[in-house]
Amino acid sequence: MSPSWFFGFDVILEVMFAVICLIVALFSFKIYKDTKFRSLKFFGFSFLLISLSYMIQSIFNFLIVSEFNQDVCRIIRVHSIHNFEALGIITHMFLMTLGLSILLYTTLKDKRLRTLWLLILISFAAVFFSKNNLYMFYLISTIYLAFISWHYILNHYLTKQNKTLLVAIAFLFLLFGNFHFLISVNHELFYAIGHILELFAYLFIMLNLYLVRRR
C-alpha cells in the first residue's frame, strides 16, 4: 500500500504515534487514579491499545523493508514474507479495532458493559469475516471516527473552550487520515497522505495535553 519513496518515513511516524498515544493513556490513568471517573479508565485503555497497534505496525513495517525480514520469517517459521506481512496487518487491525471500539463506547455515555461487548463483537465480525478484511477495517474505523469526531465537535460547541476545539480538530484529522487509508487500498499516494494527516492530529493532541498539564 505504501509508495516506495515513503518506506521508512511511515515507520518513524508510526513510532511517534505510538509514543504520543502511550503518553495520553498514562495521563488518563493518572487522572483516573485521582478522580475515579470511569470514562477516563476506558479512555486510557483505548489509547493504550491504539499505541500498541501503531507499535506493532511500525515493527512489522521495519522488518518487512529491512534486510532482517528473511531471518525473522525463518525464526518464527513463516514461509513467506507475504504471510509475515499479513500477520502484522491482522495484529494491527485487531488492536486498533478494539481501541476504537472502546473509544467510541466512552463517547456514548452508556455505563452498560454489554454495550461495549456488542460494539467489539460487531466490529470484529465485520472486519475479520469480510472477504476484504483491510477495506472493511478502514471502513469501520472511518465510521467510528466520524461518530467520535462529531461527539467532540458538539462538546466544543457546548463548552466553547480552546482545549475542546483542539481535541475536535485532532479527531477530524484522524478521520480524514483514515479516509485516505480507506481509498489507499488502490492508490498508494493516499497511504502517505493518511500518515501526514495523522501526524497533524497527534500534534494537536499533544498540544492539548500540554495546555491541560499547564493548568
C-alpha cell belonging to residue 169: 480538530
Quote the pLDDT of residue 93. Answer: 93
Q: Which residues of 83-121 are buried (b: 16+ CB within 10 A; e: fewer)?
A: ebbeebbbbbbbbbbbbbbbbbbbbeeeeeeeebeebee
Q: Which of 101-105, 148-152, 193-197 has the lowest mean pLDDT?
A: 193-197
Q: What is the pTM of this model?
A: 0.87
Write the pLDDT tens digit of every residue in 78-126. 556 667 778 888 999 999 999 999 999 999 888 888 999 999 999 999 9
What is the average pLDDT across 41-60?
A: 92
What is the average pLDDT across 176-181?
A: 79
Count of the separate structural domains present in the chain: 1
pLDDT, the chain, mean: 85
Quote the pLDDT of residue 187. Answer: 67
Quote the pLDDT of residue 21. Answer: 93
What is the domain extent for residue 113? Answer: 4-214
Quote the pLDDT of residue 215. Answer: 62
Ramachandran sector of residue 160 (left: φ over 0; alpha: ψ -120 to 50; beta: rest): left
Quote the pLDDT of residue 66. Answer: 66
Distance CA 43, CA 124 (A): 20
More confident residue, 5 or 208: 208
More confident residue, 193 or 214: 193
Quote the pLDDT of residue 49. Answer: 96
Write the pLDDT tens digit of every residue in 1-35. 666 667 778 888 999 999 999 999 999 999 898 88
Quote the pLDDT of residue 162. Answer: 81
